Amino acid sequence: MTEKLSDTARKTVLEPLLDAGWALDENRDAINKTFTFKDFTEAFSWMTRAALWAEKWDHHPEWKNVYNKVDVTLTTHDVDGLSSLDAKLARKLDSL
pLDDT of 1 over the 80 cut: no
Q: What is the pLDDT of residues 8-33, one digit of tens each?
A: 999 999 999 999 999 999 999 999 99
Backbone angles phi, psi at 29, to 5 degrees: -80, 85
- Average pLDDT in the 43-56 region? 98
Q: Please indicate, yes or no, if residue 3 is contained in any of the structural domains.
A: no
- Average pLDDT in the 72-82 region? 97
- Under the banding of pLDDT at 50, 70 and 90, the label for residue 43 is very high
Which amino acid appears at position 39 of this protein? Answer: D
**Domain span including residue 64:** 29-95
Q: Please indicate, yes or no, if residue 48 is contained in any of the structural domains.
A: yes
Q: What is the CATH number of the domain that holds 73?
A: 3.30.1360.20
Q: Please indicate, yes or no, if residue 15 is contained in any of the structural domains.
A: no
Using alpha carbons, list the distances in angstroms from residue 56 to 18, 53, 72, 89: 25, 5, 18, 11
At residue 2, the pLDDT reads 87
- Mean pLDDT, the chain, integer: 97
Q: Please indicate, yes or no, if residue 23 is contained in any of the structural domains.
A: no
